[in-house]
Amino acid sequence: MDITKLKAAVIADIDARYPQLADLNRRLFNNPEVAFEERRSSALLADFLDKNGFKVERGICNLETAFRGKYGSGRPVIAFLAEYDALPKLGHACGHNLIATSAVAAGLASRQAVDSLGGSVMVFGTPGEELYGGKAIMAAAGAFTDVDAAMLTHPGGGSRVLMSTLACENLKMEFRGVAAHTAGAPEQGINALEAMIQSFNAINSLRQHIKATERISGIITDGGEAANIVPAHTAATFIVRAENDVLLEALKKRVIACFAGAARATGAKFKYSWGEHYDAMVSNVTLAELFYENMRSLGRPVSLGENNVLNFSTDVGNVSHLVPTIQPLVAIAPGSVMIHTPQFARAAATERALRCLLDAAKAMAMTAVDLLSSPANLKKVREEFLKGK
Ligand SMILES: [Zn+2]
Ligand SMILES: [Zn+2]
Q: Report the separation in Å between the CA atom of 91 and the middle of ligand 2, taken as the mean of its atom positions.
A: 12
Q: Which phi and psi angles does 348 have, rounded to 5°?
A: -70, -10
- Residue 91: is it exposed, middle or buried by C-beta count within 10 angstroms (0-12/13-18/19+)? buried
Q: Are 335 and 85 in contact (CB under 8 A)?
A: no
Q: Report the separation in Å between the CA atom of 3 and the middle of ligand 2, taken as the mean of its atom positions.
A: 32
Q: Report the separation in Å between the CA atom of 383 and the middle of ligand 1, taken as the mean of its atom positions.
A: 31
Q: Report the separation in Å between the CA atom of 341 and the middle of ligand 1, taken as the mean of its atom positions.
A: 10
Q: Are 96 and 45 in contact (CB under 8 A)?
A: no
Q: Report the separation in Å between the CA atom of 198 and the middle of ligand 2, taken as the mean of its atom positions.
A: 32
Q: Residues with Cβ within 5 Å of ion ligand 1?
A: 94
Sign of the C-alpha dihedral, residues 217, 219, 220, 221? Answer: negative
Distance of CA 72 to the CA centre of its chain: 27
Core vs surface per residue 196-230: b (16+ CB within 10 A) or e = bbbbeebbeebeeebeeebbbebeeeeebeeeeeb
Q: Report the separation in Å between the CA atom of 228 and the middle of ligand 2, taken as the mean of its atom positions.
A: 42
Q: Report the separation in Å between the CA atom of 214 and the middle of ligand 2, taken as the mean of its atom positions.
A: 19
Query: 126 vs 33, 88, 110, 137, 138, CA distance in Å?
Result: 13, 18, 19, 10, 8
Q: Is the pLDDT of residue 389 over 80?
A: no
Percentage helix, strand, coil for the chain under 3-state DSSP, each rounded to 5: 45, 20, 35
Which ligand gives the minimal distance to the CA of 156?
Answer: 2
Q: Report the separation in Å between the CA atom of 333 and the middle of ligand 2, taken as the mean of its atom positions.
A: 14
pLDDT band at 306 (very low <50, low <70, confident <90, very high): confident
Residue 376 CB coordination number (10 Å):
8
Q: Which of these, 309, 307, 306, lies nearest to 241 by C-alpha position?
A: 309
Core vs surface per residue 38-64: b (16+ CB within 10 A) or e = beebbebbbebbeeeebebebebbebe
Q: Is the peptide bond before 76 cis (omega within 30 degrees of 0)?
A: yes
| DSSP secondary structure string for all residues of 268-303 | -EEEEEEEEEEPPP---HHHHHHHHHHHHHTT---B
The full length of the chain comes to: 389
Q: Report the separation in Å between the CA atom of 267 and the middle of ligand 2, taken as the mean of its atom positions.
A: 40
Sign of the C-alpha dihedral, residues 264, 266, 272, 276? Answer: negative
Q: Report the separation in Å between the CA atom of 266 and the middle of ligand 2, taken as the mean of its atom positions.
A: 39
The string of pLDDT tens digits covering residues 6-46 is 999 999 999 999 999 999 999 999 999 999 999 999 999 99
Q: How many CA atoms lie within 13 A of 125 on its CB side?
A: 35
The string of pLDDT tens digits covering residues 15-26 is 999 999 999 999
Q: Report the separation in Å between the CA atom of 135 and the middle of ligand 1, taken as the mean of its atom positions.
A: 14
Q: Report the separation in Å between the CA atom of 360 and the middle of ligand 1, taken as the mean of its atom positions.
A: 19
- The mean pLDDT value for 104-132 works out to 97
Q: Report the separation in Å between the CA atom of 94 and the middle of ligand 2, taken as the mean of its atom positions.
A: 5
Mean pLDDT of the chain: 96
The string of pLDDT tens digits covering residues 218-271 is 999 999 999 999 999 999 999 999 999 999 999 999 999 999 999 999 999 999
Q: Residues with Cβ within 5 Å of ion ligand 2?
A: 94
